[in-house]
């Protein structure tokens, strides 16, 4: 079942991002406001299932993990929304597939885990996918596809987000294990609403958002679904397994970029994102 939950989480994430991108296209929005309002509109949808769930015992470990989780999660959110605002989602968002790679790197640095041949093949696939994403620049030199892809500001931001998520995925699992998936989905949304309240209100004053209420509600609804399914899946399996499947959101994002926003170079971007997701899966299987 964890695979189904992870796929639903991937779909919810990509769909929420598509609504955010649509809001940016129709309105002048501040990134701080967009991050906060997505959590604000997600709150009612998360609250409904929470009302039927008992509050678990929250121990010291649960609260200690906040010291890792809150600052990194907040930074990742702002960087992620900034990337959506300045770049094609079909170009930047597939690079979230780097999260399992960073999980492997962190495992090697922190506890000395070594990469297997299967994981090594996965790393090569991610590099190949990155190359294919920029293949139209091949005429500028054999290394031009990689150089120009990684010079894209949105891609750079998403790579940093992938690194931060490789850490918050671990801290998030610890928080779920010391509470419950549905409880933490609600708790997570409440905490992030409070953390983002100040910057969000400031950003609201700098935004023209009233004509984008439908898009923002849609972003909140699907973000709520993503959160609930994420917390449920991550309790049932290894963090790296769940995150690898969830990175299929990259393929959904490329599809939305093509269908909804008429973004160009979709064939190489779709091919590259598929390679990167396959690489992420191989890294997971080889870990």
Task: Please report, for the chain, how many H helices and E strands are present, in that order.
Answer: 14, 0
Q: Which residues share a beta bridge with 126?
A: none
Q: Which of 256, 199, 232 is nearest to 16 (CA)?
A: 256
CA distances from 30 to 82, 85, 214 (A): 9, 10, 17
Yes or no: say if 234 and 8 are a contact pair by the CB < 8 Å rule: no
Residue 111: the pLDDT is: 47
Residue 30 to residue 82: CA distance in whole angstroms: 9
* Phi, psi for residue 105 in degrees, rounded to 5: -60, -45
Per-residue pLDDT of the chain (287 residues; tens, 9 = 90+): 888 999 999 999 999 999 999 999 889 999 999 999 888 888 887 777 677 778 888 899 998 988 888 999 999 999 999 999 999 999 988 888 888 778 777 666 654 556 677 877 887 888 888 888 887 777 777 777 778 788 889 999 999 999 998 888 778 878 888 888 778 878 888 889 999 999 999 999 998 988 999 999 999 899 888 888 887 887 788 776 787 788 788 899 999 999 999 998 899 999 989 998 888 888 777 76
Q: Which residues share a beta bridge with 28?
A: 208
Neighbours of 199 (CB within 10 A): 17
């Amino acid at each position: 079942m964890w695979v189904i939950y992870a796929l639903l989480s991937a779909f919810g994430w990509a769909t929420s991002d598509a609504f955010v991108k649509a809001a940016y296209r129709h309105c002048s929005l501040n990134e701080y406001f967009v991050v906060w309002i997505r959590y604000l509109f997600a709150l009612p949808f998360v609250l409904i299932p929470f009302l039927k769930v008992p509050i678990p015992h929250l121990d010291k470990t649960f609260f200690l993990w906040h010291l890792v989780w809150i600052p990194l999660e907040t930074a990742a959110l702002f960087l992620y929304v900034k990337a959506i605002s300045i770049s094609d989602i079909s170009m930047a968002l597939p690079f979230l597939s780097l999260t399992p790679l960073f999980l492997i790197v962190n495992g090697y640095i922190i506890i000395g885990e070594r990469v297997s041949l299967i994981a090594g093949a996965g790393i090569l696939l991610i590099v190949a996918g990155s190359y294919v994403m920029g293949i139209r620049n091949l005429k500028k030199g054999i290394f031009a596809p990689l150089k120009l892809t990684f010079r894209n500001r949105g891609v750079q931001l998403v790579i940093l987000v992938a690194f931060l998520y490789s850490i918050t995925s671990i801290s998030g699992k610890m928080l779920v294990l010391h509470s419950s998936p549905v409880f933490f989905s609600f708790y997570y949304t409440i905490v992030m609403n409070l953390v983002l309240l100040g910057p969000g209100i400031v950003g609201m004053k700098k935004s023209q958002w009233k004509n984008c209420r439908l898009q923002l509600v849609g972003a909140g609804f699907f973000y709520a679904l993503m959160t609930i399914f994420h917390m449920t899946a991550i309790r049932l399996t290894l963090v790296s397994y769940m995150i690898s499947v969830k990175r299929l959101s990259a393929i959904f994002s490329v599809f939305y970029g093509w269908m909804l926003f008429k973004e160009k170079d979709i064939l190489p971007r779709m091919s590259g994102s598929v390679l990167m997701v396959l690489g992420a899966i191989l890294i997971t299987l080889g870990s």
